[in-house]
A = this chain, B = another copy of it.
Amino acid sequence: MASIKDVAAAAGVSVATVSRVLNGHPSVSAEARARVRGAVAELGYRPNAVARSLRTDQTHTLGLVISDVLNPYFTELARAVEEEARALGYSVIIGNADERPELQDHHVRNLLDRRIDGLLVSPTDGGSPLMLDAVRAGTPMVFVDRWIPGVDVPVVRADGRQAVRDLVAHLYRLGHRRLAIIAGPAATTTGSERVEAFRAALAEYGLLLPDAYIGQGDFQAESGRRVTEGFLDLPEPPEVVFAADNLMALGALDAVRARGLRVPDDLALAAFDDIPWFVHTDPPVTAIAQPTGELGRAAVRALVDRIEGRTPQSVTLPARLVVRRSCGEAAPAATPPTQSPSPVQRSTS
């Protein structure tokens, strides 16, 4: 592969001049510039990004460590991140932690070794020493979706509290009183926060969230199935389960169906994270939608601000409730069969 030396030789100039042409440095004669351009085209020369990075100590690359690529929420996030990064002149390397802390560490280490300019993380746990060291060492970092308390890193996330309150209002109105939740890992902020928001919303209606109605999941479909089976085996099963993410909701659907029961008649279902498929499941699933794309873009902007010496801002955006049919019909009104009439907000996807 042609190097800058070959170009210099072909153009009859020094490598310094070639470099100047390539980087748009003003102090090059029009004639030299033309000769270099010609040589570049002729040789099909492309600068070696590895060499350039070594010299400049910049890779123009962002690392993104997400918890699970198979989760549509995270792929949508990843897509938005990549788009915004590209627009700002950065590439993105994605690491999939698969909800496993040791895999997360593997990717963080790998990305750090590659000297990425900054790191976007949605932590699967309370934070390994590795990540904390990186922060302390000054690696530009931003948390997306989940974060680690007590660490001085900007956080870009959605606040679901109001939406959870709307959800509980919706459920209460439909007559449900025994409400259960499939929680995410307590080590994640999204895991514990969603339970607390749910509990607080229930309290407003004088309802309690007994321990038996808190199932411990891990954000994967299988755990949703397992927890739901546990709920159904209870002497007094809940009337509703609220899954803290879309994959556990999928597992819950599996479990209900495997018993020959039906949603919402035998058990109502709601989920955190809205995805396109929820419109077409049987029944369509009521969900809390995050502004995923906006979150991804805001996170990139914050990280790039930090990298380029500006002051990054934490960002919190509201999530919103999207009512469908998985919790029961509010009123048998004359609406299209896809959507349910909603006092709160109507599904539009």
Contact = CB atoms under 8 A, between A and B. Distances in A.
Interface of A: 1, 44, 46-51, 53-54, 59, 69-70, 72, 75-76, 78-79, 82, 86, 91, 93-94, 96, 106, 109-110, 112-115, 133, 137, 221, 250, 253-254, 257-258, 260, 276-277, 279-284, 336-338
Contacts of A112: 46
Question: How many monomers of this chain does the complex have?
Answer: 2
Contacts of A253: 280
Contacts of A110: 91
A285 to B, nearest CB: 9
B276 A281 contact: no
Nearest to A279: B254
Contacts of A337: 257, 260
Ranked 6 nearest A-B pairs via Cβ: A282-B282, A277-B277, A49-B113, A280-B281, A49-B114, A50-B53
Given A48-B113, A50-B54, A69-B78, A250 B221 contact: no
A76 B82 contact: no
23 contacts: A46-B113, A48-B54, A48-B113, A49-B113, A50-B53, A51-B54, A54-B54, A69-B78, A70-B76, A70-B79, A72-B72, A82-B96, A86-B106, A91-B110, A221-B276, A257-B280, A257-B338, A260-B336, A277-B277, A277-B281, A281-B282, A282-B282, A282-B284
Interface centre among A44, A257, A338 (most CB of B within 10 A): A257
